[in-house]
Structure 1
Amino acid sequence: MGKIVKYFAFISGGLALVLVAAILIVPSLVDVQKYKPVIEEKLADATGRKVSLGGDIKLSLFPWVGVSLADFQIANPEGFAEATFLQVNAFQAHVKVMPLLSREIYVDKIVLDGPQVYLEKRKDGKVNWQGFGSPETAASKPSAAVKDPKESPAEESSGFAVKSIEVGEFALKDGKIVYADAQQGTSTTVSDISLLLKDVSLTRPLGVDFSATFEGKPIGLQGQIGPLASAGGAVGKGIIPVDLSVNIADQLQATLIGQLEDVVGDMRYSFGLNTESFSLRDLAKALGVENFPVQTTDPKVLNTLELALKATGTASSAAIQGGSFTLDDSKLTFEANVASFSPLNLSASAALDTIDLDRYLPPPAETETASANGGGSAAPATAQKKTDYSGLRAITLDTKFSAGTVKIKGGTVENVVVQLKGKRGVFTVEPMSVDLYNGALSGSTEVDVRKDAPLTKVAVNTTGVQVGPLLHDFAGKDVLEGALASQLTLSFRGDTPEAIKKSLDGKGLLTFTDGAIVGVDLAGMVRNVQASFGLAEKPTEKPKTDFAELQAPFTITDGLVDTPGTTLTSPLIRVAAAGSAHLVSEKLNMKVHPKFVASLKGQGDTSERSGVMVPILIGGTFNQPTFAPDLAGLLQGGLPDVNALQEALQQELKPKKENSGEETDAIEQGIKNLIPQFKF
């Protein structure tokens, strides 16, 4: 018996010695490098991409199974700008041998040094991160069969089932991700990526320490994820809690709290995101930005920002509820639902309480100021890049925006409601409504981008809008007063000012009531030729033409605006105008026909004036209009005879005297003020 034990011990010791010798000696005897072509071929078959191992492969077997390699690359498919999809400068991993027999993995360390990923989207929409895997393998893979409910769990699972994983250290160093979008012509880089995980376990929360540089700006992330699996459960199949915080330069603090579910299957997520109030200007200073990139008229804005939202979704969809964004004195609440990302199918709504956009607009540039003052010469026109609308033809939109009060360009609008919908390249804005200057504007817009040049149709109606303060606030002009009611329908093709002017078609009617044309005294022009047309001393007060009603119907054909019957109703005077204005050449060609009447309907003008009534020609351009008496028309029609005109007016006033003496007295007095020679 003793001899048997001795023999058994001798044999066991010999086998152990041989095994140890093999583990120590084999790695130095086996030439791993000659297997590189085989490894590259197998990896290429698995990924469907060309794989190369440029550096040496090093192998160890005991007490840790260790492997290290250098210059590992996975190529991009043909047709992409970058040749490489993934490149790793160096990789090493050490796994303990003995626990593997119990299906337990103990990893000393995993180090990934210098990984670089190049993500690319071509102009045709194809991306380089899709299409992994061998086509033959995918074709031969059987379709998923319906599982037999009686099938045992042991029959469902196969292979090496892992009981536990322990990792002493996982380190990713000096990583880089580049995303190039050829459709948008943009490129984004995240560099200096560093990720350190220590004491990793599937059944304990995982501490995360991450840092990177995004477009030259440092970012950091700390917190906990997991456990990645419950005791005895599969990795990534259950709910994984997430509690992370972001700290950027001690200026921006944000928290992300929620959970991931079934990350290895049909992934779902639910998160709450909150930021503490922060200053964008202080954040820029902390990041070393010497010149703040956003120039605003008010230097005090962008000092109070805060964001809060809840998000749920899957890999292909997302939803945002309870969104809230604070920007200085303004607050925006919003919700959104993305039914799919590719192609985009988005529905969203947002409501803004109040905002003064003038505070956020850039201050007037010196060149603009000089140009406005007439200094300098205009820069030569450059060819505008043609816009590609192909990306818009696939998206679906259903969005709504509302705002209480918005100030822009000196003007103020209230109760803004805009609903934008889009599908298959046709986008509509309807309803579109806003209250402004004691009145209201409503309308609709349709933009069709199914062809290279977009086709736009606009319909606008206004009621009761006070145009005087509106033009003063928005344009800094005092040219017209009164309440505006309008109906406009316009259409044009193109997206440049030149194309829009050339293709503009439509019609409309503008009606102004109880107003005035500021800067032009039509009554003076038709009554006093010398004073009105520069032949006498000009009055010191700014001239204006008061009216009870001004109607301007018009049609537009290929940028040519034609108004066949513009009429102005003013006290004792009626004016009819006809002519055209060309939007491309900006030339005016109009003729004004005045008529003296015995009526006080309209706004009165009691200042002393004298003279004769003369037709007026309006020419020149939009920037430099000219006004001149129509002497040819005056001579053709003959000078008015005072006695004949007096007799005609007396005949017109005769029936009115019988009904209302006060009205006719006022009319007579108005006529005498205009033409003192008249006697009644």
Structure 2
Amino acid sequence: MKWILRIIGALVLVAVLVVGGVLMLPAERIAKIATDQLSKITGRNVSVSGDVSMTLWPVLGVTAEGLEVGNAAWAKEGAMLSTAQAAIGVDAGALLRGEIRITNIEAQSPTIRLESRKDGRASWQFTDGAGAAQIETETTPARAPRPVTIERLVIRDATLIYDAEGADLVSYSGVDLSLDWPDASGPAQISAAVRPAGERVAVDANIGNFAGFLGGEVQPVGLALETKGGTARLDGRASLQGAVAGRIDLDLKSTGGFLASLGLAAIDLPQGLGRSADVQADLTLTPDRRLALREMTADLGGNRMTGAADIDLNGVPQINAQLNAGVLDLKPLTGGGSDGGGSGSASAGWPTDRIDASGLAAFNGAISLRADSIDLGALKLGATRTLLTNDRSRMVFELREVQAYDGQFKGEFVMNNRSGLSVGGKLRAGAVQMKPLLTDLAGLTRFTGQGDAEVSFLGVGQSVDAIMRSLSGQGALNVGRGSIEGIDLDDLLGNFDVQGGTTVFDSLSGTFAIEKGVLRNNDLRMLLPNFDASGAGQVDLGGRTLDYTITPRALRVNRDRGLAVPVRIYGPWADPKVQPDLKAALDLNFKEERERVEDRAKEKLEQKLQEELGVVRQEGQSVEEAVKDRLEDKLKEELFKIFD
């Protein structure tokens, strides 16, 4: 027992002597101890160039000016950390036991440079260098690191520079950072505030085994990022090399604002197409910035989608996705209003608001889409299967299978914003109900029937109005049994009354051409139960007016020569005027009678001239020539009398 007491007493005496010796050390010596220990921990040169002040037991601390932590030998630029002022606290009791327990590190306005290379090297990976700075790139370091704990790290107003090989340089200023890491083998809590574009972005992270994470291991991670435009949360696993896997949750009130807060290019997406977004997905991100999203659900501000996507984030995002949607509203993309081109808005004309198509530059790639229905403003589609491709602001909707207006559509619709906005396409429609189609496209409500149609078109402009006034193209129409409301052609041929009624036809066909927003047709053919009809004229798509003449012909009247009564339809789409052209009707139906009347009139005139003037028409001579000759003879007779 006495020996035990003697041993304890000796240990206490040694401890007192050691502690006393430590407490008697000058501040510069304390700083040298701290920097030496940091050098051994990190394998980097750590130096203090300015004045040093000291705190004592139980925390052995120094406040130093001009602190610098060297970078990896292979790094391109200068020190990994340099700051004008820093404070470091070391647990003196742990230090006596040979442990390194840094209770706190504080730095004001430091510059932090982080670099990484494709071969896995990272400037923030440290080894116990025992005074010789080096980076261990092997899976197992050459020697086991000493236990180290940084209980708390606080950095204020820092400049953070990150240089990843093969990627753009990232530089942030005004960064605030705090790290709580009480257990060397335990988790760490990180809170940061960065200002990539002047606005504060808050970052909170919880990392499982922080020491393993710093060594390049994959560890459990919880991350929350909050900006003025919205929030992003991740629960999963990650490594410092850029590998991430987990469940992500995006709640973006403004996608453009969110991207702008992160210093990225802000885009003004159309409403319902990502201007705001609520997205959840299983996420996998590889170190070479390739992103995979699975089990994705997204509310894009009214449009809901599910699906999967692969995205290459190097440069302009390259997307390959498969999406499924219910009711999809794309009116903001086409600039269409809720009433399309219907008659309700005819007096106001087409929308003149500028179409912002900058969103077409947000990505490249291909997106396969299935939807229960799609509203394009001018067109309303049912069940749809389409492939959307986008290449440098040229977006193509390939309609592979589209149910609409009780029929089917195929073709493609193109939006090109490479050098000003243009829209165009080639569409084919089969067994389509024409009344709802023409109502949505042009506000024409008086035409019914089921038919086939095809059209190719191209329009240029920054508004719907400009596009409609610039349209060019061509097409054809073939309709089965249908009707034209507002006019009864049967009744017209009987009494020339066109006030109301409905014309029922058996078939209708024709072709048309579009130039500068005006559709022209001159080969319309319509078969009716008792007669046929032809049509010719134009429809001003830009001005929303028409001037068209339909000429029905009854075949079994007028001595089997038929009876034709042209009907002119003209004026605005919403309220066109309909009236027969009686002069044209007379010209068409009574040509022979008119010629006979004209012949009889000429005969009576010739007879009268002979009786009154003595004019005799020679063979082959017209009445006018005979009168002229007679007048010349008469004048000659009068002139000769002067010389008699």
Q: TM exceeds 0.5? A: yes
Say if 1:433 and 1:443, in contact at 8 Å, map to a contact too.
Answer: no
Aligned to 2:510: 552
Residue from 317, 332, 356 that aligns with 2:305: 332
User: What is the correspondence of 1:56-95 to structure 2 with a 5 Å cutoff?
Assistant: 59-61=52-54, 63-67=60-64, 92-95=86-89
Q: Answer yes or no: is 1:441 the counterpart of 2:409.
A: yes
Q: 1:527, 1:613 within 8 Å by CA — same for their partners in 2?
A: no
| Deviations 1:210-241, CA, capped at 9 Å, x for gaps | 799999999987663121234xxx82412122
Specify the alignment match of 1:479 in structure 2: 446
Q: Does 1:238 align with 2:222?
A: no
**Which residue of 205, 210, 229 corresponds with 2:211?**
229
Check conservation: 1:431, 1:442, Cα contact below 8 A. Answer: yes
Pair 1:344-2:349 in alignment = no
Q: 1:242 Cα deviation (Å)?
A: 1.1
User: Counterpart of 1:581?
Assistant: 539
Query: 1:399 Cα shift?
Result: 1.2
C-alpha distance after superposition, 1:52-86 (max 9, x if no partner): xxxxx87425531324799xxxxxxxxxxxxxxxx
1:169 matched to 2:126: no
For the pair 1:403 / 2:371, whether they are aligned, the reply is yes
Aligned letter for 2:220? P
- Change beyond 3 A, Cα 1:223–1:453: closer
- Distance in 2 between the 1:343 and 1:212 partners? 24
Q: Which amino acid aligns with 2:286?
A: G
Larger radius of gyration between Structure 1 and Structure 2? 2
Contact 1:527 1:612 in 2 (8 A): no
Change over 3 Å in CA distance of 1:103–1:520 after alignment to 2: farther
Change (3 A) 1:484 1:570: same
Matched to 1:309, the amino acid is: D
Residue number in structure 2 paired with 1:273: 248
- Distance (whole Å) between structure 1 residues aligned to residue 313 and residue 200 of structure 2: 32
CA distance in 2, matches of 1:630, 1:564: 17
What does residue 511 of structure 1 align with? 478
Q: State the percentage of identical aligned residues.
A: 19
Change (3 A) 1:318 1:354: same
- In structure 2, stretches of 5+ residues that fail to align are 1-13, 33-49, 68-81, 122-127, 137-144, 161-171, 254-270, 332-336, 339-343, 594-644
2:586 alignment partner, one of 628, 632, 635: 635
Equivalent in the alignment of 1:23 = 28
Shift in Å, 1:414: 2.9
* Equivalent residue number for residue 462 of structure 1: 429
1:416 to 384, 387, 394: 384
C-alpha distance in 2, partners of 1:565/1:160? 83
Q: 2:384 aligns to what SS in structure 1? A: strand
Q: Which residue of 2 aligns with 1:489?
A: 456
Tell me, what secondary structure is at the counterpart of 2:151?
A: strand
Q: How far did 1:305 drift?
A: 7.2
SS at 1:591's partner residue?
Answer: strand
- 1:346 offset after TM fit, Å? 1.4
Deviation at 1:572, TM superposition (A): 0.7
Q: CA deviation at 1:622?
A: 3.8
Three-state SS of the structure 2 residue aligned to 1:229 is helix
Measured in 2, the distance between the counterparts of 1:253 and 1:388 equals: 24
The answer to whether the Cα contact below 8 Å between 2:27 and 2:53 also exists between their aligned partners in 1 is no
Residue of structure 2 aligned with 1:107, choices 70, 81, 102: 102
Aligned residues: 484
Q: Tell me the residue number matched to 2:285.
A: 312
Q: Is the contact made by 2:554 and 2:563 (CA closer than 8 Å) also made in structure 1?
A: no
User: Using the alignment, how far apart are the partners of 1:632 and 1:488 within structure 2?
Assistant: 35
TM-score where L is the length of structure 1:
0.55
For 1:544 and 1:114, the matched residues in 2 are separated by 84
Shift of 1:596: 0.8
Q: Distance in 1 between matches of 2:575 and 2:85?
A: 74
Structure 1 residues 378 and 311: alpha-carbon distance in aligned structure 2, compared to 1, 3 A threshold: closer
Evaluate the alpha carbon distance shift between residue 59 and residue 497 of structure 1 in structure 2; reply closer, same or farther with a 3 A threshold: same
Residue 410 to residue 489, structure 1, CA distance change in 2 (3 Å): closer
C-alpha change, 1:462 and 1:104, in structure 2 (3 Å) is: farther
The separation in 1 between residues aligned to 2:470 and 2:294, in whole angstroms, is 43
Alignment of 1:131-150 (within 5 A): none
Tell me which amino acid in the other structure corresponds to 1:228.
Answer: F
Counterpart Cα distance in 2 of 1:594 and 1:570: 9
User: Aligned letter for 1:229?
Assistant: A
CA distance 1:229–1:167, change in 2 (3 Å): closer
Structure 1 segment 154-303 matched on structure 2, within 5 A: 158-159=133-134, 163-171=146-154, 196-208=178-190, 224-230=206-212, 235-243=214-222, 256-261=234-239, 263=240, 266-273=241-248
The 5 Å alignment of 1:585-624 reads 585-597=543-555, 613-624=564-575
Matched letter for residue 467 of structure 1: M
SS of the residue 1:468 aligns to: helix
Q: Over residues 110-166 of structure 1, what are the superposed CA-to-partner deviations in whole Å (9 max), with x where a residue is unaligned?
A: 45679999xxxxxxxxxxx9xx99xxxx9xx9x99x9xxxxxx999x8349963442
Cα distance between partner residues in 1 of 2:350 and 2:408: 38
CA shift for structure 1 position 173:
7.0
Q: Does the aligned pair in 2 maintain the 1:491–1:505 contact within 8 Å? A: yes
CA spacing shift, 1:486–1:340, aligned 2, 3 Å: same
How far the C-alpha of 1:459 sits from its partner, in A, is 0.5
626 and 598 in structure 1: CA distance in 2 versus 1, 3 angstrom threshold: same
Q: CA deviation at 1:208?
A: 4.7
CA contact (8 A) 1:274 1:309 kept: no
* CA–CA separation in structure 2 for the residues paired with 1:636 and 1:279: 71
Q: CA deviation at 1:554?
A: 0.2
Q: C-alpha root-mean-square deviation of aligned residues, in Å? A: 5.9
Give me the whole-angstrom Cα distance separating, in 2, the residues matched to 1:25 and 1:200.
23
AA of the residue aligned to 2:452: A
Encode CA deviations 1:247-280: one digit per residue, 9 max, x unaligned.
Answer: 99xxx9996332113x1xx4221112369xx999
CA 1:103–1:571 in structure 2 vs 1: closer, same or farther (change >3 Å)? farther
Alpha-carbon distance in structure 2 between the residues aligned to 1:245 and 1:170: 20
| Counterpart-to-counterpart distance in 2, 1:314 and 1:477 | 57
Partner of 1:561: 519
1:557–1:483 CA distance, 2 compared to 1 (3 A): same
> In structure 1, how many angstroms separate the alpha carbons of the residues matched to 2:554 and 2:566?
12
Distance 1:103 1:578 in 2: 101
1:344 to partner: Cα distance: 2.3
Kindly provide the CA deviation profile for residues 83-122 of structure 1, in whole angstroms up to 9, marking residues without a partner as x.
xxxxx999743242978999975433345679999xxxxx
Shift in alpha-carbon separation, 1:472–1:627, aligned structure 2, 3 A: closer
Contact 1:229 1:235 (8 Å CA) reproduced: yes
Residues 480, 516 of structure 1: 8 Å contact kept: yes
Aligned equivalents of 2:546, 2:479: Cα separation in 1: 21
2:507 aligned counterpart, secondary structure: strand
Unaligned 5+ runs, structure 1:
1-8, 28-56, 71-87, 118-128, 147-152, 178-189, 281-295, 298-303, 359-363, 366-370, 533-537, 600-610, 643-680
- 1:91 and 1:462 map into 2 onto residues whose CA distance is 75
